[in-house]
Amino acid sequence: MLYINKISLVQFKNYSQATFSFRHRIVGITGRNGAGKTNLLDAIYYLCFTRSYFTNSESQNTQYQTNGFRLEGYLEKNNQPEKIICTLKDGRKEISLNDDKYDRFSRHIGQFPAVMIAPDDADIILGGSEERRKWLDSLLSQLYPEYLDHLIIYQKILLQRNTLLKNMATTGQNQDSLLDVFDLQLVMHGVPVYETRKAFLQTFIPQVQQLYDYIAGTHEIVNIQYQCTLQEEDYATQLHQARYRDMQVQRTTTGIHRDDLLFLLNDHLMKSSASQGQRKSFLFALKLAQFEVIRQHKNFPPLLLLDDVFEKLDQERVSRLITLVAGENYGQVFITDTHAERLQQAFAGASADIQLIAV
């Protein structure tokens, strides 16, 4: 089991200094609009992922007019106490687990799994392919550390290859042998990423379908189609064939950095044809299926961070969601709402006790 017992925030977003202790499996976080409910969820997310769920810019995580923040989390994993400290000071970030500083933050990913469901998640369906890759990468990185290693190296090489292509255009110099080296490395690290994504999606889709039927309360066929240039041809050949074009456009035009996922409902593209309600049900199904695969893989449930679900779902779907998360397959669940009474009432019939925290 994974629990967070206590968190302290110093100069994190709107919190100057605050400590929260969690005693129950279900924790309701209440407060008016703008009080800091989402920020508290994000602080928990930060401890698990070494980054914010909402922004890549650390300055946005730091309280206005200050130059750093500190988060301390006291957790329990399989009955062992665990302490995570994340600090940012003058742009320098440090993360430690049980007072041991990490050399590479990627080593932390997957040790304290968590799933966030937040209003901005609609971008996974409506946004560009980058949003969908980001979602899939975050999921797979929690399951397979080697996936994250391949991805990090691939992105580094990609950047170097693109810089070289630009330099070649400016200088007019032929750099074929250096391109050969980069291509070899892209193949070495891109192919495992492709294979992991492909294999994962095959087993994942039935789980999304099952949860969609449950949340939506009706059966419609959901599908996720994986689009990757590597499906068409051997990657090394592809890179070689695309080299002239890459030189013209000064960037790498084939590879897993161009992948996309097509979300389909009854064979139609969800982005353009699904209703808002259908999209919401799908997003919940996607995230809860993510929760389920992580739970099965780790043998304990991840933390579940639910932001503003009452605003997002109708009464019927909220009550199905609550029945699910109060059940025995779920671990610690954090849920935000502006109305304490609504939260209390929603969990009144459920088997788990709820602790309400006002921010």
Ligand X SMILES: Nc1ncnc2c1ncn2[C@@H]1O[C@H](COP(=O)(O)OP(=O)(O)OP(=O)(O)O)[C@@H](O)[C@H]1O
308 near ligand X, judged by CB under 6 A: yes
Q: Among residues 9, 27, 37, 331, which is the contact residue for ligand X, using CB under 6 A?
A: 37
Closer by beta carbon to ligand X, 150 or else 312: 312
Q: Is 171 annotated as a binding residue?
A: no
Asked if 31 touches ligand X (CB under 6 A), the answer is yes
CB 315 → ligand X: shortest distance, Å? 19
Residue with tokens 């064979």: 267
Per the annotation, does 107 bind a ligand?
Answer: no
E-strand stretches of the chain: 2-12, 15-21, 26-30, 68-77, 80-89, 92-97, 100-101, 114-117, 222-227, 260-265, 268-269, 303-306, 333-337, 354-358
Strand 260-265 vs strand 92-97: parallel, antiparallel, or unpaired? unpaired
**What CA–CA distances, in Å, run from 104 to 81, 137, 188?**
22, 18, 21
Shortest distance in whole angstroms from residue 71 CB to ligand X: 14
- Sole binder of ligand X in the list 3, 20, 38, 142 (CB under 6 A): 38
Q: Is 38 annotated as a binding residue?
A: yes
Q: Which of residues 332-351 bind ligand X (CB under 6 A)?
A: 336, 338
Separation between Cα atoms, residue 63 and residue 17, nearest integer Å:
10
Nearer CB in complex with ligand X: 64/244 = 64
Binding mask 43-62 for ligand X (x = CB under 6 A): -----------------x-x
Q: Measured from the CB of residue 339, what is the shortest distance to ligand X in angstroms?
A: 10
Cα–Cα distance between 318 and 311 in angstroms, integer?
Answer: 10
Strand partners, 69: 88
From the CB of residue 146, how many other CB atoms can be counted at a distance below 10 Å?
A: 10
Was 252 annotated as part of a binding site?
no
Task: Give the total of residues touching ligand X (CB under 6 A).
Answer: 17
Tell me the CA distances in angstroms from 297 to 132, 136, 191, 218, 302, one per residue in order: 22, 16, 23, 28, 10
| Binding of residue 149 to ligand X (CB under 6 A) | no
In the complex, minimum distance from the CB of residue 36 to ligand X, in angstroms, rounded to a whole number: 4
First and final C-alpha spacing in the chain = 26
Strand partners, 114: 303
Report the residue from 5, 6, 10, 14 that binds ligand X according to the rule CB under 6 A: 14
Q: Is 33 annotated as a binding residue?
A: yes
Question: Does 331 carry a binding-site annotation?
Answer: no
Evaluate whether 332 touches 3 at the Cβ level (below 8 Å). Answer: yes
Task: For 50-80, give the DSSP string.
Answer: SS-SS-S-HHHHBPTT-SEEEEEEEEEETTE
Q: Which of 3, 13, 183, 346 binds ligand X (CB under 6 A)?
A: 13
- Does residue 32 have a known ligand-binding role? yes
Sign of CA dihedral 283, 62, 38, 22: positive
Residues 224-243 that bind ligand X (CB under 6 A): none
Can you tell me which of 3, 4, 39, 147 binds ligand X, judged by CB under 6 A?
39
Judged by beta carbon, residue 29 or residue 151, the one nearer ligand X is: 29
Using CB under 6 A as the binding rule, the residues of this chain from 53 to 112 that contact ligand X are: 60, 62-64
> Nearest Cα to 206, choosing from 224, 218, 193?
224
Which residues are documented as binding site?
Answer: 31-38
Q: Which parts of this chain interact with ligand X (CB under 6 A)?
A: 13-14, 31, 33-39, 60, 62-64, 308, 336, 338
Which residues are documented as binding site for ATP?
Answer: 31-38
